[in-house]
Amino acid sequence: MNDVKKAVMTNWRWVMCAMLFFATTVNYMDRQVLSLTFKEFIQPEFHWSNSDYGTITGVFSIAYAIFCLFAGKFIDWMGTKKGYLIAIVVWSIGAVMHAGCGIATTWFVNGVDSVEALRAVEAGSTLAASISMVSVWLFLACRLVLGLGEAGNFPAAIKVTAEYFPKKDRAFATSIFNAGASVGALAAPASIPLLAKAMGWEWAFIIIGGLGFIWAGVWVFVYDKPEKSKHVNEAELAYINQDEEKKQDKKAKSESKEKQMSFIEAFQHKQTWSFAFGKFMTDGVWWFFLFWAPAYFQEQFGIKASHPQGVLLILTLYAIVTFISLYGGYLPKTFVEKRGMDPYAGRMRAMLIFAFFPLLALVAQPLGGVYGPWIVAIIIGIVGAAHQSWSANIFSTVGDMFPKSAVATITGIGAMAGGIGSFIINKGSGMLFDRAAGTFMYNGKEFVANADGIKEAFSIQMIPQGHESLWYADILGGHKEAIMQGAEAFSYQGQEYLLNASNLDTVLNIKTQIGTQTSELLDVIHANGGEIVRQPMEAFGFSGTPAGYMIIFCVCAVAYLIGWSVMKTLVPKYKPVEVK
């Protein structure tokens, strides 16, 4: 034993951690392609509403939740190496499949013979409704395949962490690979909108989806269980297995590891319900910001995801998440080593601290109206960092409480609960935003009373305050007689005019409106002959879609404290579970 202690220890466990990090990075990039191409590229092509998008993200969440329930069992049954490999290959296939939805829509919708013709269909028409319905179903099919594979990522990753790290290091290791979610979310806005703009949104799905196949090829050669790996020496193996109580108990423990925990037995333990409730309350917050942040910045501030400022906003948001959240896994280690707490008590203390930071979401919308989008990006980044820190620790409680043979199963149950929570918040958000905006009638058709609805009804491009230059060219593009003359002027019927909103209104006989506040949107609707059918929602001093966002931000703000309180009530102290 002394020779083992004196030997130079290998560090292959950190190579495994790096593999988990890259898998999680690819996982989140694949998941975010849709959110970064929805508002600017996919919605105009397929004529989706916010509710349609909410349906797609919501169904993905619930399907992911159901698959997670069985993914953990599948990983435990198949084994870590084969199970993880199958998972990432399946989700990569699902990611690439999205690229064919445009072509497939033309096969099922009569009257549309090309992908280019989809966008040209009149908004609000019966044909547009058919395109929307068919394309939603096609995207749902692709999301189901994506969710089927992605459900295996976290159960497999947590199982690898339990295999390769002692309890005191698991939260830190989990925070490192879990940071892959933040890095994926960080890399996505820097690459996906630019790919979509340069090559078409389809290629964004194909290229990002292809990364998973590369990872799978590497995984085949680098993974083995630590006791079988040629890269792990005795010193590292002893370090990994330091939680074994007594040397003479190893054989008994080894036999215990082979026992599998049934679903019925799993649900008999309060530890399972504690973990599941914590995931149910908080996973939806992260997925809401992941799926809706690009749409939020475009709808509330008029900043497209492909525009440099849009890219910088999302990059800033996730840079904050990435760098701050790394400390989240280290904090409980400090409590354990310096204050002598058991791992569970240290994690719960750290999670309580992290649970207070999302309260900042309460002021995101009010401050955004005063200081602009950057303050919102910073606040969402801090909330996201708190979530990732919370997530790293709640995952680690499973390894603390349950034997290794049950880790993937319990993680799958928790992921299922998180998926259900995510379905509720994402589907509910889409419905709420359309309801909050109100509706109006124009030429016998009903439209949502937001910037997208106004653009569809009147062919008017809204000009957000402070970003006028971004939109003038779009407005002029709809009038063949008008020609841009540099960046400050345009010509119309042989005369030259300064390029500003007033001249666009007067010369082209249209109504543009600087700003995206609800009262200003209603002015545009009335000025162009529209009739309000359903008044915008009023809540917390906001009107229309901003009121909807404010409601969701309030839910996100308190979710963690509620989740922590119930978890602490169910499992107040460390109590490990044994498989019967």
- For the residues of 214-257, what is the DSSP string, one character each? HHHHHHHHH---TTT-TT--HHHHHHHTTT-S-GGGHHHHHHHH
Per DSSP, the residues of 109-128 read STT--SHHHHHHSPTTSHHH
Q: How many whole angstroms separate alpha carbon 245 and alpha carbon 4? A: 18
Give 489-523 as a 3 state SS string. EEEECCEEEECCHHHHHHHHCCCCCECCCHHHHHH
Identity of the residue numbered 78 = M
Q: Give Dmax (Cα) for the chain.
A: 95
The pLDDT of 475-480, averaged and rounded, is 49
What's the confidence (pLDDT) of residue 514?
35
Q: How far is C-alpha 79 from the geometric centre of its chain's CA atoms?
A: 28
> Would you say residue 304 has pLDDT above 80?
no
Average pLDDT, the chain: 81
Mean pLDDT of 126-134: 89
The two beta strands, 538-539 and 445-448, are unpaired
Range list of β-strands (E), 266-340: none
Q: Quickly state the pLDDT bin for 506 (edges 50, 70, 90).
A: low
Q: Which residues pair with 497 in a beta bridge?
A: 490
| Spatial distance between the Cα atoms of 106 and 102, rounded to a whole number of angstroms | 7
Q: Give residues with Cβ within 8 angstroms of 299, minimum separation 6.
A: 39, 450, 451, 452, 516, 545
- Nearest-angstrom CA–CA distance, 352 and 128: 49
Does residue 215 carry a pLDDT above 90? yes
Of the candidates 467, 448, 464, which has an alpha carbon nearest to the alpha carbon of residue 456? Answer: 448
**475 pLDDT exceeds 60?**
no
Overall average pLDDT of the 219-241 stretch: 87
Average pLDDT over residues 365-387: 91
Tell me the sheet residues that pair with 485.
489
| CA pair distance 393, 90, nearest whole angstrom | 28
Which position has the token pair 């942040």? 293
Domains of the chain: 2-438+548-570 (1.20.1250.20), 451-530 (no CATH)
pLDDT at 152 over 60: yes
Q: What is the pLDDT of residue 363?
A: 94
> How far from the centroid of its chain's Cα atoms is residue 440's Cα?
32
Closest among 112, 136, 111 to 47, alpha carbons compared: 136
Q: Do residues 444 and 531 lie in contact, with contact meaning Cβ atoms separated by under 8 Å?
A: no
> Which of 512, 406, 500 has its CA nearest to residue 462?
512
Write out pLDDT tens, residues 411-436: 888 888 998 898 899 889 988 988 88
Give 46-94 pLDDT, tens digit per residue. 988 888 888 898 888 888 878 877 887 888 888 888 999 999 999 999 9
pLDDT-based confidence at residue 329 (cuts at 50, 70, 90): low
Q: Which of 65-79, 224-238, 444-458, 545-559 has the lowest mean pLDDT?
A: 444-458
CA distances from 218 to 16, 127, 236, 369, 526 (A): 11, 46, 22, 48, 60
Question: What's the angle, vertex CA 299, arms to CA 445 and CA 142, rounded to 5?
Answer: 80
- Kindly state the helix (H) or strand (E) to which residue 207 belongs, with its residue range: helix 201-222
In the DSSP assignment, the letter for residue 483 is E
Residue 140's contacts (CB-CB under 8 Å, 6 or more residues apart) are 55, 56, 59, 60
Q: What is the pLDDT of residue 247?
A: 44
Rounded to 10 degrees, the C-alpha dihedral 259/265/271/273 comes to: 140
Contact between 147 and 287 under an 8 Å Cβ cutoff? The reply is no
- Residue 448: φ, ψ to 5°: -70, 135
Say which residue the tokens 């295996």 belong to.
152
* The model's pTM: 0.69
DSSP H or E segment with residue 442: strand 439-442
Burial of 82 (0-12, 13-18, 19+ CB in 10 A): middle
Percent of the chain having pLDDT more than 70? 84
- The dihedral built from the CA positions of residue 33, 39, 45 and 48, taken in this order, carries a sign that is positive
- Partner residues linked to 482 by β-bridges: 492
Least confident of 98-112, 117-131, 308-322, 481-495: 481-495
